[in-house]
Structure 1
């Protein structure tokens, strides 16, 4: 995979080429101070909010409202206030309103799919810049875009200069069972994989032929030979009427999840086999189509590894801040008891 291929898969490069065949979107330049904020390892806060810290927790039974939770080290009190970006916020909100009030956010390449656990609705749907910041600052995918987009590239040329952008896509309720990832090599569609391979969707096996046919037709009529590279990966969505839409374009390489294929298969030059018949699809001159065939093969979501324990989630959402404190105190007490027993030595 070359750096040029990664550059060509930026949203702002391919969106003008295929605007008629994808979801309506708005692209906004990302100011440097916003980039700095997203990369700041400090407390996760959103614009306009404030977090105060003090060592002990305070309860006032006579008060109608509980005081804010406070934390500190060495009896000191610190206040962390998120920076505000009024001009950028205004542009973002204007774009969100123009797109119907709800958007799906991403950067040049990636969306914060690994951070949906932190959103109150467990969704990537955003209605404000604060919603976007919460997802972006919790996402390793976003950090990868900002810090090492060329890490898997084989060429040793200097990294191209990237102008980072915030992409806001009109919110659309896409059914996971309708999403597919397509692998293109030398401008030929060689493989189609169920996008959400962790689940079994019965309609895919029943409509295998028509799904494959409609995706091939879409690729042939609207994508083939229109993209700057001859090797790439595209994500598509097939709606209930059988119409296919372009969702995203990705580099043809390990930075992109190969799903039900392996990159060794895709890059070996050998013909791929269909997972249903085991036949060589090159003989039929059609792409290999792979999907989860039964409940037995269902797998856990790969994004589960990015999630945090429920106690931490309760803390981040404000549902039960004391639960985590009590848990940590309990663990500390257990460790102290174990340490005392070890110091005492064996008893006769």
Structure 2
């Protein structure tokens, strides 16, 4: 569970405006109370004739128009999240596990089926909920990285698809470090609300990196190739600007292993 200030600072409604030029195009629509109540119900049934989950007449006209306009911008093919999370644990309810949204019913299905989204809706107070529709992008798992920032210095880089072996990391590691360091220094450093945080990027060379999301740096955030036990002591220390980040990855393909086993045999590149 995030703290109240975390919820405010890391809501996409709070950071998107600052970083919209270096993130995936997103249109944010306020989630009306009527729809929130529908999503929170556990016994949602499809309506009989038109197979709609919720009657449009029950929802504000302005919301329906805003949602329709947003989908049209993305050619009725978008990715969806709420203020903080995507309903990734509801992939089984999407065609091809892609979480593509082509109508409002898709959003309701994903949000209703996602434990993560339901937890957000049940514990968050005094912060307006939103639907964030994002341009659909096909992303190779090897192109997604989580970057750890401590005292406004980029200290760690880890593949989000961890622990999976990718042979090209060994050769391209130094280049990945340089590109992401420059991207951070030029576009993010001292612009975010916190001095300790995590940001996720898509990086497919030679294209420029794109921000996917920001998350708080704490024991509840998945640090993949890093552990909170090793990161926590660094938070209370000042870091000189010339500290290079560590890029961690698996050097050899050893099949399916646990995160703990991977941490014991990882490679660090800096």
What TM-score do the two structures reach when normalised by structure 1?
0.67
Shift in Å at residue 44 of structure 1?
A: 5.3
2:93 maps to 118
2:204 is matched with which residue: 222, 225, 239?
A: 239
Query: For residues 178 and 96 of structure 1, what CA distance do their matches in structure 2 show?
Result: 26
Query: For residues 298 and 188 of structure 1, what CA distance do their matches in structure 2 show?
Result: 33
1:290 maps to 248
1:164 maps to 129
2:108 maps to 133
Shift in Å at residue 85 of structure 1?
A: 3.0
CA deviation profile, 1:61-117 (whole Å, cap 9, x unmatched): xxxxxxxxxxxxxxxxxxxx8432353344322211112321110000000011111
2:31 maps to 30
Unaligned runs of 5+ in 1: 51-80, 150-158, 272-280, 302-348
1:146 is matched with which residue: 108, 121, 124?
A: 121
CA deviation profile, 1:4-60 (whole Å, cap 9, x unmatched): 13310100111000111011110000001111111111145479755xxxxxxxxxx
1:10 maps to 11
CA deviation profile, 1:112-166 (whole Å, cap 9, x unmatched): 01111121321111111111211111101111221225xxxxxxxxx6x101010
1:310 maps to none
Instruction: State whether residues 197 and 298 of structure 1, in contact with CA within 8 Å, keep that contact through their aligned partners in structure 2.
Output: no
1:210 is matched with which residue: 153, 175, 181?
A: 175
Which protein shows a greater Rg?
A: 1
Shift in Å at residue 207 of structure 1?
A: 0.4
CA deviation profile, 1:147-204 (whole Å, cap 9, x unmatched): 225xxxxxxxxx6x10101000011111111010011111111111101114222222
Query: For residues 47 and 297 of structure 1, what CA distance do their matches in structure 2 show?
Result: 48
SS at match of 1:114: helix
Instruction: State whether residues 46 and 130 of structure 1, in contact with CA within 8 Å, keep that contact through their aligned partners in structure 2.
Output: no
1:99 maps to 74
Query: For residues 47 and 7 of structure 1, what CA distance do their matches in structure 2 show?
Result: 40
Query: For residues 33 and 297 of structure 1, what CA distance do their matches in structure 2 show?
Result: 48
2:267 maps to none
Alignment RMSD, CA only? 2.6
SS at match of 2:97: coil
Against the structure 1 CA distance between its residues 163 and 176, is the aligned structure 2 distance closer, same or farther, given a 3 Å change threshold? same
CA deviation profile, 1:275-314 (whole Å, cap 9, x unmatched): xxxxxx99x721121123333154489xxxxxxxxxxxxx
Query: For residues 254 and 47 of structure 2, what CA distance do their matches in structure 1 show?
Result: 42
Instruction: State whether residues 151 and 235 of structure 2, in contact with CA within 8 Å, keep that contact through their aligned partners in structure 1.
Output: no
Number of aligned residues: 252
2:265 maps to none
SS at match of 1:121: helix
